[in-house]
Amino acid sequence: MTTEQISDRRAAAVHPTAPAQPAPATARATAATTRRTVLPAVDRPHDAPAAPPTRRATGGLDRDDLILRLGSAAASLSLTALLFGRILPFDGWQGFLVVAGLLFLGIYAVLVMQEEDGPAVRDRVMAAVIQAIAAVLLICLGMVIVFTVARGWEALSHLNFFTQDMGPAGPLDPLSVGGIQHAIVGTLIQISIALAITIPLGITCAVFLGEVGGRFARFVRTIAEAMTALPSIVAGLFVYALFITTLGLERSGLAASMAITVMMLPIVIRAADVVLRLVPGNLREASLALGASQWRTVWHVVLPTARSGLTTSVILGTARGVGETSPVLLTAGSSLVLNLDPARNPMISLPLAAYEFTRSPEPTMIARGFGTAATLMVLVLVLFVFARILGGRGAGQLSRRQQRRAARASQRDVERFRLRGQAPASPSRPAAAPADR
Amino acid sequence: MSSIAAPPPGAAAAPPPSPAPAPRPEKGVRPRSARDLADRFFRGGARGAGVTVLAIMVAVGLFLSLQATDAVREAGWSFFTTEEWAPGAGGFGIAAVLFGTVMIALVAITIAVPLALGTALYISEYAPRGLKQTLVNAVDLMAAVPSVVYGLWGLFLLQPYLMVEGEQGNGIPRWLSTWFGWIPIFRVDGVNRDDPLSTASVYTSSTLIAGIVVAMMVTPIACSVMREVFDQAPIGEREGAYALGATRWGMIRAVVLPFGRGGIIGGTMLGLGRALGETIGVYMIISPIFEVQWQILENGAISISSLIALRYGDASPFGMSALMAAGMTLFLVTLVVNFTASTIVARSRSGAESEV
């Protein structure tokens, strides 16, 4: 009794007026300071001019929006569960997700509409849609990578997977026998031959397009750009028609690398052409103005300036070439044993091996297929990271190490000039000076 | 005097210019000729590389068409109208396979374009600045993932678990065909929703599932083209839109999307070109049929590239010629698509940098 009275009195002391009335007012006031649109002009007219104009936040997710989204998500999930479980004859979690997503957008739009006007509602809803789309794509990417590595982990954890070929292993053998050494070696041989042709030819062609120019160069550029569309199977078909049907050669690693070359060449040319065009023209002009010939300008100025970009173009082409299955399928055939001779006998590559392994119904073979695919993915990833490290900078932008090296070189030049000015130049100078007079 | 005095200066003035031009060519000729020679070699070598590349590219078209003539002459115009593929025994034609190729590519593009557009907008407009480069790298990396990996994902995860699940084939295809079966492309023949004995196999290996796998491959390419173009939307116009009171979406609609229209169309076409030519991902998913298949949810699909991968092994020389003709058709179609794409991208305000 007494305690209740005290607490009542205390409450009365703290809130002298009826507590039910001012509470919404203060809540609205705080809402007005955090939100932009609902201004309690009637309640506190004298506050409005005093408030400084706040900077409009165009990015980020504020607290209210987050709460709205969580609320909409909860509402849509509950509603979908009700629809699927009780009211409608739907089933399957895939449809559940689709319906929940659509309902979420609807509920969110309605909730935002309580406080905002038309353009702001559209803005908020579109932001949610775009963020959801990006999330879906990134989840898919993560799923592809994680799934491949997870299914292949069993095979990857056996070390013999990398050191043996499939010669001794039958279709029913466990994972402790057999491996993909032959495919790794095959991929490396094929891509090396392809690179040995692609790098000189592709970069020279890009130099031709960028530095020599002319109407013929424009024509070659058009053709090379058109050829980036060449479907990989058509590249394989071409080499099949040329090497195997016309010349009567057997299927071999060489034929496969030719097919890969045909596919990679336009990619490398196009990327290298773009990089060469980024080299500043005044570097070329400076070199030519110093009396260098055109080829010296290209060799000593243009190519070193664009080196990192050219490397990137080659690596990106390599990453595409390494991963292509269908040209190899047509031209190299498949083998189970290590073959070091590119000119004779079938030679398998990693993507083709992954494909062949997973056609088998045996779980161990499928695990090997996923292990092969994961190995291939790691190879491509390593190439890709290299390309990013080398190609992250534009032409002429030096890394810190290169900057230090350039600084050291010019320091040496300063020293050299100083020494030349002191010792060896002193005898010649008096001789030269009177001659001038 | 003046007449005498005048000639000496004239004579004195005349000789110095005359020796000066004389030695200058002599002094300049040797280095310049050596330079000319070196440069001529350089240009010749570069032009040689250009000619070689051109020759390779022309040879592709030439060899394919030479090898294809046998089959095309045999088949005549029926090559474009026949649905079956039995060279040697019966008729053969690309009506069904070309239709299937286009169908798979259209499904792929329908899925890929919203995904690519949304992700490109997210990366260029919405993503926190610290996260942006990571996302760019992630999408570019996705473009570098080999197609066989996507094929494995489609065959072992997407088809059995995400799309067609369990004995009855629960999932989106079944759902779509049940509730939207009145739309012709979503119709699936021979299933009854209430039939407890219905099997999942009607829904597997369909155009839709192959299309999703191809969409995963072409989305990153389309996305990176679109993002490059969006990033170049002029900052002044963006700020102008904000200054006029636009919301962020209003700014995107008023500035970024009109500016990037060329990139959006070009990226879509580039993705379409890639989707038409994709081989191994499609080949792993589909179960081949040789008829014009409108129903994208139903088992059975075909594309030109998977036809080649399927039949090259046991093809007779004549069959090979027929496959070459099919390959030539695919080549021409992708060529047209890509030419259109590169023209559109080049004509937009930012062509050179939109590099895959």
A99 in contact with chain B, both atoms CB, cutoff 8 A:
no
More confident residue, B4 or A121: A121
* Beta carbons of A94 and B317 less than 8 Å apart: no
pLDDT score at B118: 93
- The single-letter DSSP state of residue A397 is P
More confident residue, A318 or B163: A318
B147 in contact with chain A, both atoms CB, cutoff 8 A:
yes
Confidence of residue A423 (pLDDT cuts 50, 70, 90): low
Considering only CB atoms, which chain B residues are within 8 Å of A377?
Answer: 145-146, 149
* Beta carbons of A354 and B152 less than 8 Å apart: yes
In A, minimum Cα distance to B334 occurs at A229
- Rounded Cα distance, A196 and B243, in Å: 55
More confident residue, B166 or A42: B166
Continuous segment of H or E residues that includes residue B6: none
Burial class (CB in 10 A: 0-12, 13-18, 19+), B54: middle
Q: A33-37, A108-112, A403-407, B309-313: lowest mean pLDDT where? A: A33-37
Helices (H) and strands (E) in chain B, counts: 15, 0
- Considering only CB atoms, B53 lies closest to which of A145, A201, A369, namely A201
Question: Tokens 């509920």 identify what position?
Answer: A107
The amino acid at residue B228 is: E
Question: Mean per-residue pLDDT for A29-51?
Answer: 54
- Rounded Cα distance, B50 and B63, in Å: 20
pLDDT score at B120: 92
Considering only CB atoms, which chain B residues are within 8 Å of A144?
Answer: 142, 145, 149-150, 153, 216
Per-residue tokens: A191: 């891509």
Question: Mean per-residue pLDDT for A230-244?
Answer: 87
Average pLDDT, chain A: 78
- Rounded Cα distance, A51 and B174, in Å: 58
Percent of chain A with pLDDT strictly greater than 70? 79
B257 in contact with chain A, both atoms CB, cutoff 8 A:
no
Q: How far is residue B281 CA from its own chain's centroid?
A: 15
B46 in contact with chain A, both atoms CB, cutoff 8 A:
yes
Residues 160-199 of A with CB under 8 A from B: none
Percent of chain A with pLDDT strictly greater than 90? 9
Residues 260-299 of B with CB under 8 A from A: 273, 276-280, 283-284
Q: How far is residue A12 CA from its own chain's centroid?
A: 65
Domain ranges for chain B? 47-348
* Beta carbons of A376 and B149 less than 8 Å apart: yes
Residues 310-369 of A with CB under 8 A from B: 316, 319-320, 322-326, 329-330, 351, 354-355, 358, 366, 369
B316 in contact with chain A, both atoms CB, cutoff 8 A:
no
In B, minimum Cα distance to A95 occurs at B172
Q: Is the pLDDT of residue A372 over 80?
A: yes
Q: How many residues does chain B have?
A: 356
More confident residue, A29 or A293: A293
Domain ranges for chain A? 63-157, 163-391
More confident residue, A178 or A131: A131
* Beta carbons of B174 and A205 less than 8 Å apart: no
pLDDT score at A323: 85
Burial profile B186-223: b = 16 or more Cβ within 10 angstroms, e = fewer: bbbeebeeeeeebebebbbbbbbbbbbbbbbbbbbbbb
More confident residue, A413 or B199: A413
Considering only CB atoms, which chain B residues are within 8 Å of A151?
Answer: 152, 156
> Nearest CA of chain A to the CA of B149: how many Å?
6
* Beta carbons of A242 and B59 less than 8 Å apart: yes
* Beta carbons of A209 and B43 less than 8 Å apart: no
Considering only CB atoms, which chain B residues are within 8 Å of A90?
Answer: 175
pLDDT score at A89: 61
Confidence of residue A274 (pLDDT cuts 50, 70, 90): confident
Confidence of residue A37 (pLDDT cuts 50, 70, 90): low
Question: Tokens 């197609």 identify what position?
Answer: B147
pLDDT score at A277: 84
- Rounded Cα distance, A261 and A378, in Å: 22
Q: Would you call B288 helix, strand, or coil by DSSP? A: strand
**Segments of chain B scoring below 70 in pLDDT:** 1-35, 167-168, 190-198, 348-356
* Beta carbons of B139 and A137 less than 8 Å apart: yes
- Considering only CB atoms, A217 lies closest to which of B50, B64, B320, namely B50
In A, minimum Cα distance to B218 occurs at A137
> Nearest CA of chain A to the CA of B132: how many Å?
12
Q: A168-172, A218-222, B331-335: lowest mean pLDDT where? A: A168-172
pLDDT score at A12: 42
Considering only CB atoms, which chain B residues are within 8 Å of A194?
Answer: none
Per-residue tokens: B302: 């075909």
Give B170's strand partners. B165
Distances (CA, A) of B262 to B221, B252, B256: 15, 15, 11
A95 in contact with chain B, both atoms CB, cutoff 8 A:
yes
pLDDT score at B33: 67
Which numeric CATH code is attached to B47-348? 1.10.3720.10
Question: Mean per-residue pLDDT for A44-52?
Answer: 55
pLDDT score at A243: 85
pTM: 0.78
Q: Which of A72, A203, A220 is nearest to B56 (CA)?
A: A220
A61 in contact with chain B, both atoms CB, cutoff 8 A:
no
Question: Do the beta carbons of residue A193 and residue A342 sit within 8 Å?
Answer: yes
> Nearest CA of chain B to the CA of A327: how many Å?
9
- Considering only CB atoms, A133 lies closest to which of B58, B114, B170, namely B114
Burial class (CB in 10 A: 0-12, 13-18, 19+), A17: exposed
Fold assignment, A163-391? MetI-like fold (1.10.3720)
The amino acid at residue B12 is: A
Residues 151-210 of B with CB under 8 A from A: 151-153, 155-157, 162-163, 165, 170-172, 174-175
- Considering only CB atoms, B175 lies closest to which of A92, A127, A298, namely A92
pLDDT score at B112: 93
pLDDT score at A39: 57
Helices (H) and strands (E) in chain A, counts: 20, 0
- The single-letter DSSP state of residue A349 is -
